[in-house]
Structure 1
């Protein structure tokens, strides 16, 4: 008969231990340690991983579906990389999370040694792949923004191939370190562990440091370098633009240095990186603490360390949320741009229709207005020539023979052209001669046309 005793009451996960925990056998009663029975750590794993499994499966499947549809319309390198990131997160969701749930439910390992090694490999493969794909995304943004002329069709493929190959290489040691082992005292109790896999404690410490560097430190350095260089270059270009007076008109379009699409993609990728750092930093902080001072870390409740690892696994759920958030914003902005473009298109169509009417033969206008229109065009040309000569010859002269009068109310002809009637006074010797108004077309611009008195 086996039951829980008072041995290793602070231990909730056997993977924190360096070796098998002790058990007591008193009067035929086996007192198991707390890591060998169903405990609070197992309850926490089952509850949280079940929730994360549902959220991550729905989110990453949706993102993968949307990116696949977009790729069929026109593949972009950043979309392909985001697809691989969604695949990596799905591998974490479909392999690591169900494994943790089933393992917490059964407590001990109830499968073969081959499955122990295989699942240990896939348990970290998705985590490595997710980190390395984000490094590829950062490098892609680096080349796209800082070195846009150095385009290479195979660069993205090569980086993704290196990410997959590097994930396989970094995950292979797990298959050799984890193995199925039976408890030396409790017969029939098997566990998938790393006990007795390292020759010395230094080897164990070296492996933990190498894992931390490959999965966290190396990607973090790549993120800081790539995005730091990007923002430094953007800052320098903005400084040059602000000093250039000629570039004032370009700042009005909000596209000083980057296009709107590049800005949105850059913000999205940086948000994904920030989520990665927030999720994984606490866990690796305590791992670093454990490698430097094991005595003080042993005093920390093991539930804290398990909770931090679960929190790190939420990174796979957050990536599709970040992607969805920026795509919703992008669609809203695109809809606003479409409405603005429609207004511009409508105005352009109206101007085009006015120009087409001007290009028509004058005699073809209805209601016998051909002669009037011909006179209007001729008078407009002559008046503009006179005004230009006066402006160049005697600017500001109060004796100018042409004085602009206020624009009269517009009239409509054929519902396409706005017509204005304007009167002017010409300084003549005969002030009471009859005046004939000249009608001029307003072709989309604010051009005031005056009539000239008969001479």
Structure 2
């Protein structure tokens, strides 16, 4: 997946024109000067690795999220609010796969961006749009769990739809500056080599841009989620502590039967399971993207940051780690929602037949074991 502001085949944030020099620019660190048509070469072995990994990530992300969406659409169970959020989070992950991973995969193969200026601007817009949508869909899932646990009486289905629509629309609007920052331009004046690059005001433009992306896509969402889960943990702690103190025996009050436990704002197992699932999704996001944004911020704010091939490798590896986030969420859904895996199996008739055959064989084996055990007991 291309970084939010990547400008060349190596997905580093903060590409710039010839008047700006940054350690985050792979093209500025020419690794092969033997190319007579383009003296800004690249590390071909690293590029092949990136292409291979991106191809695998794209297939896994599309396959996993499509299966989850099919299972949710064909499920006969009553749709819950959490299913609604899972559906839209899967859609945002598909957006990341189609508009970020796939363009970057093609871009790495062609090395230089092949297309008109309009396509360049559109690709950059949709790339950051996918990141914003996926990130803030995760945030509103956490906010919804906070409301469900800490303010259960305020939980409304209509509010969930408004938050989801607001996330899609807001992400599209916030990513609009990409269309003005990036364009098809010469990577160096007079070089005759064109790529989809950005132009920043020297010297603070690239620092401001990368910091804004890091704050908007990573730092701010993580802070919101941490606040939500701090409140959730505190509420659960109070709930458990209060239930241990209140007697569970039945008592009469004003002629009505009351119970000590029923007066407590109990948290159901289903809610706890969805809280755990959302927390794991958030932790996976932090683990996948923290290295990438750390390296990007370090590259533009630390003047002593290295400007050699090792920097390009660090950028590429951290970007690939971030890309894994788009294909690991479906497996988290399946792990915490037991029926979702069975719903996915029922989508495919062939898998359904295999499952029934295995159940039949297990049943026959169980019967044989029971018969054999009965015979042994009789003999004894």
Whether the TM-score (by the shorter chain) exceeds 0.5 is yes
Check if 1:177 corresponds to 2:181.
yes
The corresponding residue for 2:351 is: none
Any gaps of 5 or more consecutive residues in structure 2? 1-7, 19-27, 251-258, 343-380
More helix by share: 2
Aligned pairs for 1:57-136 within 5 A: 57-70=62-75, 73-136=77-140
Q: Is the 2:9–2:112 contact (alpha carbons within 8 Å) kept by the matching residues of 1?
A: no
TM-superposed CA distance for 1:243, in Å, is 2.0
Q: Is the 2:11–2:316 contact (alpha carbons within 8 Å) kept by the matching residues of 1?
A: no
Structure 2 CA distance for partners of 1:304 and 1:12, relative to 1, 3 Å: farther
Q: Is the 1:12–1:302 contact (alpha carbons within 8 Å) kept by the matching residues of 2?
A: no
The corresponding residue for 1:245 is: 247
Q: Residue 295 of structure 1 aligns to a residue in which SS?
A: coil
The corresponding residue for 2:44 is: 39
Q: Is the 2:277–2:332 contact (alpha carbons within 8 Å) kept by the matching residues of 1?
A: yes
Which whole-Å CA distance do the structure 1 matches of 2:231 and 2:245 have between them? 21
Q: Is the 1:264–1:330 contact (alpha carbons within 8 Å) kept by the matching residues of 2?
A: no
Q: 1:257 aligns with which of 247, 266, 269?
A: 266
TM-score with structure 2 length normalisation?
0.74
* Rg (Cα) greater in structure: 1
Which whole-Å CA distance do the structure 2 matches of 1:331 and 1:95 have between them? 27
Q: Residue 162 of structure 1 aligns to a residue in which SS?
A: helix
Deviations along 1:313-372, whole A, 9 cap, x unmatched?
11011100100111238889xxxxxxxxxxxxxxxxxxxxxxxxxxxxxxxxxxxxxxxx
TM-score with structure 1 length normalisation?
0.63
Q: 2:335 aligns with which of 311, 320, 325?
A: 325
Q: Which structure has the higher relative contact order (CA within 8 Å, separation 6+)? A: 2
Structure 2 CA distance for partners of 1:236 and 1:180, relative to 1, 3 Å: same
Which whole-Å CA distance do the structure 1 matches of 2:306 and 2:190 have between them? 28
Q: Is the 2:334–2:341 contact (alpha carbons within 8 Å) kept by the matching residues of 1?
A: no
Which whole-Å CA distance do the structure 1 matches of 2:341 and 2:176 have between them? 42
Deviations along 1:417-453, whole A, 9 cap, x unmatched?
xxxxxxxxxxxxxxxxxxxxxxxxxxxxxxxxxxxxx
TM-superposed CA distance for 1:203, in Å, is 2.5
Aligned pairs, number: 311
TM-superposed CA distance for 1:290, in Å, is 2.1
TM-superposed CA distance for 1:64, in Å, is 1.0
TM-superposed CA distance for 1:150, in Å, is 1.4
Check if 1:49 corresponds to 2:51.
no
TM-superposed CA distance for 1:62, in Å, is 0.7
Any gaps of 5 or more consecutive residues in structure 1? 1-10, 333-455
Aligned pairs for 1:55-454 within 5 A: 55-70=60-75, 73-182=77-186, 183-187=188-192, 189-194=193-198, 197-246=199-248, 257-298=266-307, 300-328=310-338
Deviations along 1:103-155, whole A, 9 cap, x unmatched?
11111111100100001111121111000101110111111111111133321
Which whole-Å CA distance do the structure 2 matches of 1:165 and 1:297 have between them? 39
Q: Is the 1:180–1:190 contact (alpha carbons within 8 Å) kept by the matching residues of 2?
A: yes
Q: Is the 1:142–1:226 contact (alpha carbons within 8 Å) kept by the matching residues of 2?
A: yes
RMSD: 3.0
Structure 2 CA distance for partners of 1:186 and 1:290, relative to 1, 3 Å: closer
Deviations along 1:246-288, whole A, 9 cap, x unmatched?
379x999xx9932121111111111111111111111111122
Which whole-Å CA distance do the structure 2 matches of 1:236 and 1:130 have between them? 32
Which whole-Å CA distance do the structure 1 matches of 2:305 and 2:138 have between them? 34
TM-superposed CA distance for 1:29, in Å, is 8.8
